[in-house]
Amino acid sequence: MKKVFSILVLALLWPLVIRADEPKGGGYSAYEAYTSLMSTSTFAIGGVGFAGTTSGPELALREVLKQPDAVATCQKLVANATVEGQLYGLLGLKLSDDKAFTQALPKFKNSKTAIKVMSGCILGTDKVGEVAERIEKGVYK
């Protein structure tokens, strides 16, 4: 029973945890967006949690993509961020520069490293290579 209660509490509070890096008011500066993505610990695209809100890291990526140096910033993320942050960088390249995306993809394609992924209300783990494959197929927009 304790385990069920713990899972329920985590499911209810997780959207707050993954949005913790988001500045008040939902707005990121380009620098805040980049630094947030460098250290993110969960990959969450699309509505997450019971309210279906956009995760803080996704909002940060959207801010990065508005910048004139978006491709270079995403390449830095791919090279230097946490694994989850690297995947946000890879997604940013997919959305902004096909050539840069194609060059970065092999690093992730066969990786079996497990990461935290949130989809809807479900927090789980997934392999980096599987997330990279979904990015390649255009599942995340």
CA angle 95, 101, 103 (to 5 degrees): 170
What are 84's two structure tokens? 């989850």
Those residues with Cβ within 8 angstroms of residue 22's Cβ, 6 or more apart along the chain or in another chain: 28, 36, 56, 59, 60
Looking at per-residue confidence, does 68 or 3 come out higher? 68
Structure confidence by residue, pLDDT tens digits, 60-80: 999 999 999 999 999 999 999
Cα–Cα nearest to 121, from 61, 39, 46, 56: 46
What's the confidence (pLDDT) of residue 12? Answer: 45
One-letter amino acid identity for 38?
Answer: M
Residue 68 one-letter amino acid: P
CA 113 to chain centre: 15
Indicate if the alpha-carbon torsion angle 109, 18, 81, 68 is positive or negative: positive
Residue among 27, 31, 37, 82 nearest 58 (CA): 37
12-48 pLDDT, tens digit each: 444 444 444 444 345 779 999 999 999 999 999 999 9
Q: Is 23 helix (H, G, I), strand (E, B) or coil?
A: coil
Q: What is the mean pLDDT of residues 96-124?
A: 96
